[in-house]
């Protein structure tokens, strides 16, 4: 009962702090909104098109490019803006359709399409798409030029004939069949991935930040006074631990419910999702207790909290999804699983993507409980020493 | 001025003894830069590669043209491999394989080209012909390239057919396929002329080093700026005010503290990240100008918080909110500008974005390219510094 009083006092102190309100409730939601809108959904390479010509062929070319599934065509006014965009990585490539495009081509005069890209694959694959559209457009023109070069007719006359001939010839087409399964990340909703990763990142980070309160409790002598009352050290520790735990849990539940209501995030089975959170919050509060025991200055603990909070999040797949690690670097994927973050994310993946049951995520939960156990054991051992000294 | 200096020296000694400034100013950004580089560089360096298979059920000249010439030329690029298979089933199985990075020797393909029987014969007629592509759903880019290649070849064949038919119309005699091939000697009227853009994008290691340095700079500077509120809290401010020194000296002392801490932290980070992780900050003069601009802006912005907050605790809360929000919006954690969207438009309201932009422009240009960014940073410093000074004057008068 006493420990519960200590815990609720902790929680109340925490919620009264306006900074906490921002970092715990507002900021994570903002991040999920931003990441979801910037990175959620398909990413297509951005090709800037500067159309200086008003002709029909120029328009056709643009329409052809716009028809490509994997290219995001962006109309840009000036060459300078396009160059700047490509240089700074705001665009993958740019192509200029010159003013004389239509007039030259219909007159049989070759035209250069200036194509600007940074070196690298994105530029190359956009280029193959551009080449493909240009070739498609040139069918009749080239046939006419051929007739002209063979001395069969003038270009203008041959152009008319080639057009009529082409209408009577069936097309050579490409029939595309999609095979296999989509990359698992592509199956998630727009906000799903960022909601999961930010939940894990923030529950841990906020817990660590909470260690400052524990240090204050120690420094101001509150802990010693509590022990001087007929309250066992165990009860005080339980209360402080429970306080950290409640903070982590309240934030986690807020993010889960909030993203579900606002962004329609799919958290899978709600009971299993809550179980993952209940256990991960235990890991976070355990880490906070350990930091509260090890550091003696709350500003130091604050700096280290940001360091560990962001560092583990980056390693554990909260900034770049584990699926990407898996695809790109098996070594990185293994390192990620040193962090509790990765195991929690695996558990969410299982219930969200594969309709995992409790049995499917039991291993992940057991590993997370292991982390919590180790962290709490170390923290309690250190705190007993520090508080009774 | 002597008084200001004395105050600054006292503050600096105090900060050095309490290790929190070293943690925030040096250790945290350095370790995070190491972790971020470790995690994100492999992703940035990830090279595109594609594996295609082709099934030629036709064996005729048009099909061989595609397999030997078109795909042969592609396979010359060592990031692309092309294998020829006998059956569509075998090809489909390979495209269907889920890519498992841990099983090195499992064969898979990103896409398969299928040239159906009778393809070459159909091509020389006027009947519609089809090339089939099995595109792997799991590898969008590679499959997209495969479709583009097939489309381009289809357009070439169409050109040959239309050209041959047009020539026939004018009475040219001979083998249709041969005439068609000859027609392909006529180049596209529109040719794609390549120009390589200078990259003004920081490489991964440099990006994280610079991003984290400017992000934590605001926290480091805040230690100095908040000194005023701490003096008030500790009851030493009235004593300072009673001392025979101008009020201005107290404020200047705090600003000098903040500036020195900023310069030290940034310099250590630039040198350490260059030596330890190989970050490429660029021309030292340009970097120096940007760092000074950044520190100036940071002191101005943090100064406003310090001037209007009532207690040191309140100042700390507000300044961390401001530092985190500006840092995030300004693209210190991920390249906001490159990702596009609303944030990319909004980012220039933060000094962080100007700092990062300046470094990027410096990487692809020369010292003069940082002037716009430095100017913007100085404007931030002047505007915010003036507001802060007004606020502090009001606070000291009260």
Closest Cα partner for B326 from B304, B301, B303? B301
Query: Which phi and psi (to 5°) does residue A354 adopt?
Result: -115, 15
CA of B96 vs chain A CAs: smallest distance (Å): 4
- Domain map of chain A by residue range? 2-39+189-387, 45-184
Phi, psi of B6, rounded to the nearest 5 degrees: -60, -45
Residue that is written with structure tokens 């063979």 in the block: A150
Q: How far apart are the C-alpha atoms of A14 and A29, rounded to whole Å?
A: 19
Strands (E), A14-77: 45-51, 71-75
Using a CB–CB cutoff of 8 Å, tell me whether B358 touches chain A: no
Sign of the four-CA dihedral B137, B142, B147, B148? positive
Q: Which CATH architecture has domain A45-184?
A: 3-Layer(aba) Sandwich (3.40)
A-to-B residue pairs, Cβ atoms closer than 8 angstroms: 333
| Domain chopping of chain B, boundaries | 2-43+202-397, 50-183
Contact B58, B131 (CB under 8 A): no
Question: What was the pLDDT predicted at A187?
Answer: 67
Q: Give the residue carrying structure tokens 């809108």.
A: A37
Q: What is the pLDDT of residue A105?
A: 83
B158/A contact by beta carbon, under 8 A: yes
Give the nearest partner residue to A115 out of B102, B194, B219, using CB atoms.
Answer: B194
Nearest by CB to residue A113, choosing from B92, B183, B193, is B193
Say how many C-beta atoms besides its own lie within 10 A of residue A150's C-beta: 18
Strands (E), A224-356: none
Distance from CA of A60 to the nearest CA of B (A): 13
Q: Indicate the average pLDDT of chain B.
A: 87
Q: Region B298-304: what's the mean pLDDT?
A: 93
B137, pLDDT greater than 90: no
Q: How confident is the model over B354-386, as pLDDT tens digits?
A: 999 999 999 988 899 999 999 999 999 999 999
Contact list in B for residue A19 (CB cut-off 8 A) is 316-318, 320-321
Q: Looking at residues B221-228, what average pLDDT do you find?
A: 83
The nearest CA of chain B is from the CA of A1 a distance in Å of 32
Nearest CA in chain A to B170: A152
CB-CB contact of B328 with A23 (8 Å): no
Which residues from A are below 8 Å from B149, CB to CB? Answer: 128, 132
Handedness of CA B337, B343, B348, B353 (dihedral sign): negative
Q: Strands A93-97, A71-75: parallel, antiparallel or unpaired by DSSP?
A: unpaired
CATH of domain B50-183: 3.40.1710
- What does the pLDDT read at residue A215? 83
Dihedral of CA atoms A208, A214, A219, A220 in degrees, nearest 10, equals 140
Q: What b-and-e string marks burial along B317-347, b requiring 16 or more CB atoms within 10 Å of the CB? A: bbbbbbbbebbbbbbbbbbbbbbbeebbeeb
What pLDDT does B105 receive?
Answer: 58
- Distance (Å) from the C-alpha of residue A152 to the closest C-alpha of chain B? 6
Provide the CB-side half-sphere exposure for A128 (13 A, CA).
20
Give A-chain residues touching B182 at CB under 8 angstroms.
Answer: 146
CA distance B355 to chain A (A): 14
Mean pLDDT of successive 10-residue stretches along chain A, which has 389 residues: 79 78 87 78 82 88 87 90 90 92 84 88 82 86 89 88 88 88 71 89 90 80 76 79 89 94 91 96 94 84 89 91 82 92 94 90 96 94 81
Q: What is the pLDDT of residue B238?
A: 82
Q: Which of A28, A377, A380, A368 is nearest to A214 (CA)?
A: A380
Q: Which residues between 266 and 305 in chain B have a beta carbon less than 8 angstroms from any beta carbon of chain A?
A: none
Q: What is the per-residue pLDDT for B27? A: 92
| Chain A environment of B326 (Cβ under 8 Å) | none
Angstrom CA distances, B356 to A126, B77, B318, B348, stand at: 27, 35, 24, 10
Q: Which residues of B touch A116 (CB under 8 A)?
A: 195-197
- Mean pLDDT confidence for B294-321: 87
The Cα B364–Cα A87 span in angstroms is 8
Distance from CA of B242 to the nearest CA of A (A): 30
Angle, helix A121-137 to helix A139-149, in steps of 10 degrees: 60
State CA A257 to chain mean position distance.
Answer: 20
Residues in chain A with CB shorter than 8 Å from the CB of B47 are 121
| b/e per residue A330-352 (b: at least 16 CB within 10 A) | eebbebbbebbbbbbbbbbbbbb
- pLDDT at residue B15 above 90? no
Under an 8 A CB cutoff, do B183 and A17 touch?
no
DSSP codes joined into one string, A62-91:
HHHHHT-TTEEEEE-S-HHHHHHHHHTTSS
Q: Answer whether B189 touches A (CB < 8 Å).
A: yes
Tally of CB atoms within 10 A around A227:
16
Tell me the torsion sign for CA atoms B25, B31, B32, B33.
Answer: positive
B397 touches chain A (CB under 8 A): no
Task: Determine contact: B44 vs chain A, CB below 8 A.
Answer: no
Of the listed ranges A81-85, B15-19, B345-349, B378-382, the one predicted with least confidence: B15-19
- 3-class DSSP assignment, residue A95: strand
User: Model confidence over B93-136: pLDDT tens digits?
Assistant: 888 876 555 555 567 888 999 999 999 888 888 899 999 999 98
Q: Which of A132, A136, A152 sits opposite B172 (nearest CB)?
A: A152
- Put simply, the answer to whether B321 touches A175 (Cβ < 8 Å) is no
Q: Which of B39, B166, B333 sits opposite A332 (nearest CB)?
A: B39
Q: What angle do CA B145, B150, B151 make, to 5 degrees?
A: 95
- By the 8 A CB rule, do A255 and A196 touch? no
Chain B residues lying within 8 Å of A108, measured CB to CB: 189
| Residues A332, B42: C-beta atoms closer than 8 Å | yes
Query: What distance in Å separates the CA atoms of residue A254 and residue B130, rounded to the nearest whole number?
Result: 55
From chain B, the residues in CB contact with A89 under 8 A are 199-201, 335, 337-338
Task: Decide if B158 and A172 are in contact by the 8 Å CB cutoff.
Answer: yes
Q: For residue A170, which residues of chain B lie inside 8 Å, CB to CB?
A: 126-129
Contact B144 A300 (CB under 8 A): no
Q: Measured between CB atoms, which of A108, A142, A330 is closest to B159?
A: A142
Provide, as residue numbers in chain A, all residues whose Cβ is less than 8 Å from the Cβ of B147. 174, 176
Q: Determine the pLDDT at residue A275.
A: 96
Mean pLDDT, range B176-193, rounded to an integer: 85
Q: Do B172 and A150 touch (CB under 8 A)?
A: yes
Q: Is the pLDDT of residue B41 over 60?
A: yes
B103 near B92, Cβ under 8 Å?
no
Round to whole Å and give the CA distance between A19 and A124.
Answer: 48
pTM for the full predicted model: 0.85
> H or E segment at A112?
strand A111-117
**Å from A340 to nearest chain B CA?**
16
Contact A139 B187 (CB under 8 A): no
Q: Cα–Cα distance between B250 and B228 in angstroms, integer?
A: 8
Structure tokens at A248: 């982590």
Binary contact (B337, A327; C-beta < 8 A): no
Averaged pLDDT for residues B154-168: 91
Parallel/antiparallel/unpaired status of strands A93-97 and A172-179: unpaired
Using CB atoms within 10 Å of the CB of residue B226, give its burial: 0 to 12 exposed, 13 to 18 middle, 19+ buried: buried
Report the 10 Å Cβ neighbour count for B350: 24
Q: How many CA atoms lie within 13 A of B211 on its CB side?
A: 27
Integer Cα distance of B194 and A199 in angstroms: 45
Does the beta-carbon distance from A146 to B166 stay under 8 Å?
Answer: yes
């Amino acid at each position: 009962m006493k420990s519960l009083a200590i815990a609720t006092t902790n929680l109340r102190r925490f919620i009264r702090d306006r900074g906490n309100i921002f970092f715990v409730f507002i900021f994570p939601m903002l991040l999920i909104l931003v990441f979801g809108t910037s990175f959620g959904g398909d990413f297509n390479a951005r090709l800037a098109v500067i159309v200086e010509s008003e002709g029909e062929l120029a328009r056709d070319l643009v329409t052809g490019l716009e028809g490509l599934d994997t290219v995001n065509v962006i109309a840009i006014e000036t060459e300078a803006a396009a160059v700047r965009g490509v240089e700074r990585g705001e665009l993958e490539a740019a192509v200029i359709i010159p003013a004389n495009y239509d007039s030259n081509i219909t007159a049989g005069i070759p035209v250069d399409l200036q194509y600007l890209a940074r070196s690298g694959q994105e530029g190359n694959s956009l280029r193959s798409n551009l080449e493909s559209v240009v070739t498609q457009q040139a069918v009749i023109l080239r046939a006419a030029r051929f007739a002209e070069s063979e001395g069969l007719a003038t270009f203008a006359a041959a152009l008319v004939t080639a057009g009529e001939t082409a209408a009577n010839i069936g097309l050579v087409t490409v029939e595309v069949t999609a095979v296999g399964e989509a990359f698992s990340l592509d199956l998630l909703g727009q906000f799903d991935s960022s909601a999961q990763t930010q939940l894990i990142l923030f529950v841990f980070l906020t817990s660590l930040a909470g260690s400052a309160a524990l240090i204050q409790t120690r420094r101001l002598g509150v802990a010693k006074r509590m022990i001087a009352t007929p309250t066992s050290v165990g009860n005080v520790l339980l209360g402080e631990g429970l306080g950290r735990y409640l903070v982590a849990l309240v934030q986690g539940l807020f993010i889960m419910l909030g993203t579900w209501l606002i962004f329609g995030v799919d958290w899978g089975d709600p009971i299993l999702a809550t179980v993952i959170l209940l256990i991960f919050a235990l890991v976070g509060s355990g880490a906070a207790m350990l930091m509260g025991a090890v550091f003696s200055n709350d500003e130091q603990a604050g700096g280290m909290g940001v360091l560990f909070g962001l560092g583990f999040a980056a390693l554990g797949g909260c900034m770049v999804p584990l699926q990407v690690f898996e695809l790109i670097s098996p070594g990185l994927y293994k390192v990620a699983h040193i962090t509790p973050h990765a195991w929690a994310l695996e558990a969410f993946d299982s219930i969200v993507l594969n309709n995992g049951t409790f049995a499917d995520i039991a291993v992940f939960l057991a590993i997370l409980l292991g982390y919590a156990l180790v962290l709490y054991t170390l923290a309690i051992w250190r705190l007993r020493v520090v508080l009774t000294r | 001025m002597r008084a200001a200096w004395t105050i600054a020296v006292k503050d600096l000694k105090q900060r050095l003894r309490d290790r929190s400034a070293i943690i925030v100013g040096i250790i945290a950004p350095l370790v995070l830069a190491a972790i971020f580089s470790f995690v994100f560089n492999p992703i940035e360096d990830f090279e595109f590669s594609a594996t295609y298979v082709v099934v030629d059920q036709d064996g005729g000249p048009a099909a061989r043209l595609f397999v030997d010439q078109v795909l042969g030329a592609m396979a010359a690029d060592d990031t692309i491999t092309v294998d020829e298979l006998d059956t569509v089933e075998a090809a489909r199985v390979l495209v269907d394989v889920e890519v498992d990075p841990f099983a090195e020797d499992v064969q898979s393909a990103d896409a398969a080209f299928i040239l159906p029987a009778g393809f070459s014969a159909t091509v020389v007629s006027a009947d519609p012909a089809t090339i089939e592509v099995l595109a792997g759903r799991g590898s969008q880019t590679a499959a997209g390239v495969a479709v583009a290649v097939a489309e381009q070849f289809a357009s070439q064949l169409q050109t040959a057919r239309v050209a041959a038919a047009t020539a026939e119309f004018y009475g040219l005699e001979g083998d249709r396929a041969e005439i068609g091939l000859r027609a392909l000697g006529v180049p596209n009227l529109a040719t794609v002329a390549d120009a390589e853009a200078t990259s003004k994008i920081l490489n991964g290691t440099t990006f994280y080093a610079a991003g984290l340095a400017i992000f934590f700079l605001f926290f480091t500077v805040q230690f100095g700026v908040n000194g005023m509120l701490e003096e008030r809290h500790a009851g030493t401010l009235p004593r300072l005010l009673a001392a025979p020194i101008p009020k201005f000296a107290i404020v200047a002392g705090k600003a000098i503290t903040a500036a020195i801490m900023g310069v030290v932290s940034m310099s250590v980070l630039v040198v350490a990240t260059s030596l330890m992780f190989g970050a490429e900050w660029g021309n030292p003069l340009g970097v120096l100008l940007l760092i000074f601009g950044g520190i100036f802006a940071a002191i101005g912005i943090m100064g406003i918080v310090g001037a209007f907050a009532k207690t040191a605790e309140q100042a700390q809360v507000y300044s961390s909110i401001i530092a985190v929000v500006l840092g995030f919006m300004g693209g210190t954690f991920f390249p906001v500008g490159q990702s596009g969207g609303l944030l990319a438009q909004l980012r220039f309201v933060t000094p962080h974005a100007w700092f990062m932009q300046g470094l990027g422009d410096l990487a692809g240009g020369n010292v003069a390219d940082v002037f716009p960014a430095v100017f913007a940073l100085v404007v931030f410093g002047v505007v915010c510094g003036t507001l802060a000074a007004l606020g502090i004057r009001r606070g000291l008068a009260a």
